[in-house]
Amino acid sequence: MLSNLSGKKLLILGGSKISCEIVRKAKAMGVYTMVTDWYPIDKSPAKKIADESFMTSTTDIPALLKLIKENKVDGILTGFTDSTLPHYARICEAANLPCYGTEEQFNTLIDKKVYKEVCKNYNIPIVDEFLFEPSKDSINTSKITFPVLVKPSDSSGAKGVTICNEESQFLNAYEKALSYSEKKRVIVERYIKGKEVTIFYLLNDGEIYLTGMGNRHVKHNQDGVIPLPVAYTFPSVYLDKYRENTDSKVKRMFKDLGLKNGMVFMQCLIEKEEAIIYDIGYRLTGTLEYKLMEEINGYNPLKMLINFALTGRMTEEPANLPIESNWNKYACNVSFLMKPGEIARIDGLERIKEFPEVIDAVIANDVGTIISEELKGTLRQIVLRVFAVTDNRDDLEKVLDKIYKSLKVVSTSGEDLLLPGFNTQELDGLLK
């Protein structure tokens, strides 16, 4: 059970399209919503639907403290971007308002180089990393075995990530990764092409719960960039082995890091049926799996984080929540990817929403959105996410097929903008 939050004031840091999820949910809980960033309202979608908005930058702490005091803000929350998290922690501390993590914890779990070293201390599988020696004039790649994945140590959303198949591609990949790294640090990892999963944890008053594992289906449908996700399906066949071999190590690491509240997701590659971590997020997921968790298991991490921001508690229930990681239904989160271009028309969305299995469909890019060539290989290419739940695997396959046949995205020049998507034959051997 969550608190009665009617009339409480929540300040949301960042007004991106996905932050609308926080605004809508908070409003549904009776909360007065306020959004701030330095973008004008026409470029900050969450401001358009919030009760009130401001032009104060999320990094300007003195100005934010003034805003918080003058407007009698009861709580602060940010959602889906790693780079905002340390500022969020500093603002909450200065304003003496609840924050689900500390600045040190966020910095640890944002920086890939840092959390990989922490994982090593707990014998948690991580992707092998190659050492290389950058200098002013050249880069020594003698210790690198290609192909490799080159990426910034402190960025999210697949920004700045390149698959490098040979040495001649390395310098450009390195410079690209460097340009997206605030700390100017680059990671070079062994490139593993294969099955992927995402693992979810919920933290409540120091108790840590494994809440689920989904298969992360990626598609190699664009040349020269990393494959992007086209679907997540639940529950994954790899869950039991992960619980047996790795879950307790991860929970011990989280406890030693002092994590007490919030949620964590981990993206993993599967090699020899073992989940090997390649990315961690101590925040809400842009893939919005909390929608599935609420439908199937009755709790919603987004609602719990809003509650925490305004009361200092995720929930009023006792610490030991009845959370089951082995879901008793089948579920999917389908992502539609678009080519570079400008959206003129999106057809079939209303039909998709009418399918009884579909619990929600969230537009990521509206009509008029332009995706440039520079955004290829990033999550900005996602047009729509569709969430569906079924009682059995056969029904899941059927609804996936129906969803894919229903949507059409057309450019201003009349071109079909959708990239090839998920094939239900890929489900073979992956669902429990």
Per DSSP, the residues of 374-418 read GGTTSGGGEEEEEEEEESSHHHHHHHHHHHHHH-EEEETTS-B-B
Number of domains in the chain: 3
Domain end call among 190, 208, 232: 190
423: Cα within 13 Å, side-chain hemisphere: 7
pLDDT greater at residue 99 or residue 374? 99
Residue 377 binned pLDDT confidence (cut-offs 50, 70, 90) = confident
Give, in degrees to the nearest 5, the angle at Cα 177 between 342 and 126. Answer: 110
- Indicate whether 182 and 212 sit together in one domain: no
Contacts 24+ apart (CB under 8 A), 239-243: 239/212, 239/213, 239/325, 239/326, 239/432, 240/432, 241/273, 241/274, 241/275, 242/197, 242/199, 242/213, 242/275, 243/210, 243/325
- Indicate whether 142 and 270 sit together in one domain: no
Asked if residue 135 has pLDDT above 70, the reply is: no
Q: Is 46 helix (H, G, I), strand (E, B) or coil?
A: helix
Q: What is the identity of the amino acid at 321?
A: L
Residue 154 binned pLDDT confidence (cut-offs 50, 70, 90) = confident
Asked if residue 1 has pLDDT above 60, the reply is: no
Asked if residue 320 has pLDDT above 70, the reply is: no
The pLDDT assigned to 319 comes to 59
Listed residue (214, 272, 196, 178) closest to 388, CA to CA: 214
Among the ranges given (106-115, 122-131, 181-190, 347-356), the one the predictor scored with the smallest mean pLDDT: 181-190
- Indicate whether 294 and 371 sit together in one domain: yes
The pLDDT assigned to 182 comes to 82
The pLDDT assigned to 238 comes to 97
Residue 109 lies in a domain: no
Dihedral (Cα; 391, 392, 396, 402), 10-degree rounding: -80
The pLDDT assigned to 178 comes to 87
- Indicate whether 185 and 216 sit together in one domain: no
Residue 382 binned pLDDT confidence (cut-offs 50, 70, 90) = very high
Q: Is 267 helix (H, G, I), strand (E, B) or coil?
A: strand
The pLDDT assigned to 284 comes to 95
- Indicate whether 221 and 77 sit together in one domain: no
Radius of gyration of the chain (CA): 21
User: What b-and-e string marks burial along 331-353, b requiring 16 or more CB atoms within 10 Å of the CB?
Assistant: bbbbbbbbbebebeebeebeebe
The pLDDT assigned to 157 comes to 65
Asked if residue 138 has pLDDT above 70, the reply is: no
Asked if residue 159 has pLDDT above 70, the reply is: yes
Q: Residue ranges of the alpha helices (H) in 267-424?
A: 290-297, 301-311, 349-354, 393-406
Strands 196-204 and 262-271: antiparallel
Residue 114 lies in a domain: no
- Indicate whether 88 and 169 sit together in one domain: no
Angle 301-311/290-297 helices, nearest 10 degrees?
Answer: 100
pLDDT greater at residue 190 or residue 87? 87
Residue 269 lies in a domain: yes
Q: List, in sequence order, every residue forming a beta bridge with 164; answer none if it has no partner.
A: 148
Q: Is 232 helix (H, G, I), strand (E, B) or coil?
A: strand
Q: List, in sequence order, every residue forming a beta bridge with 276; answer none if it has no partner.
A: 269
φ and ψ at residue 421, rounded to 5 degrees: -110, -150
What would the mean pLDDT of 38-59 be, rounded to a whole number?
96
The pLDDT assigned to 254 comes to 98
- Indicate whether 149 and 68 sit together in one domain: no
- Indicate whether 269 and 213 sit together in one domain: yes
The pLDDT assigned to 242 comes to 97
* % of the chain surpassing 70 pLDDT: 97
Domain end call among 190, 220, 235: 190
Q: Kindly report the CATH number assigned to the domain that includes residue 160.
A: 3.30.1490.20
Among the ranges given (115-119, 202-206, 223-227, 367-371), the one the predictor scored with the smallest mean pLDDT: 223-227
The pLDDT assigned to 9 comes to 98
Contact 15, 40 (CB under 8 A): no
pLDDT digits (tens, 9 = 90+) for 267-286: 999 999 999 999 999 999 99
| Domain extent for 41 | 9-99
Residue 85 lies in a domain: yes
Q: Kindly report the CATH number assigned to the domain that includes residue 37.
A: 3.40.50.20
Sheet strands side by side (includes 148-152): 162-164, 148-152, 186-190
The pLDDT assigned to 136 comes to 52
pTM: 0.92
What is the Cα–Cα distance from 375 to 249, expressed in whole angstroms?
Answer: 36
What is the Cα–Cα distance from 125 to 204, expressed in whole angstroms?
Answer: 25
Residue 172 lies in a domain: yes
Domain end call among 145, 168, 190: 190
- Indicate whether 281 and 383 sit together in one domain: yes
Q: Kindly report the CATH number assigned to the domain that includes residue 214.
A: 3.30.470.20
- Indicate whether 309 and 419 sit together in one domain: yes
φ and ψ at residue 22, rounded to 5 degrees: -70, -45
Q: Which residue has the tokens 């997540």?
A: 232
Residue 143 binned pLDDT confidence (cut-offs 50, 70, 90) = confident
Residue 328 lies in a domain: yes
- Indicate whether 50 and 177 sit together in one domain: no
Residue 290 binned pLDDT confidence (cut-offs 50, 70, 90) = very high
298: left (phi over 0), alpha (psi -120 to 50) or beta: left
What is the Cα–Cα distance from 406 to 47, expressed in whole angstroms?
Answer: 31
What would the mean pLDDT of 208-213 be, rounded to a whole number?
96
CA 301 remoteness from chain centre: 13
Mean pLDDT of the chain: 92
Q: Which residue has the tokens 């007065």?
A: 32
What is the Cα–Cα distance from 404 to 398, expressed in whole angstroms?
Answer: 10
Residue 241 binned pLDDT confidence (cut-offs 50, 70, 90) = very high
What is the Cα–Cα distance from 50 to 36, expressed in whole angstroms?
Answer: 10
Q: List, in sequence order, every residue forming a beta bridge with 85; answer none if it has no partner.
A: none
Asked if residue 321 has pLDDT above 60, the reply is: yes
- Indicate whether 155 and 202 sit together in one domain: no
* % of the chain surpassing 90 pLDDT: 73
Residue 116 lies in a domain: no
Residue 360 DSSP code: E
The pLDDT assigned to 185 comes to 83
Residue 163 lies in a domain: yes
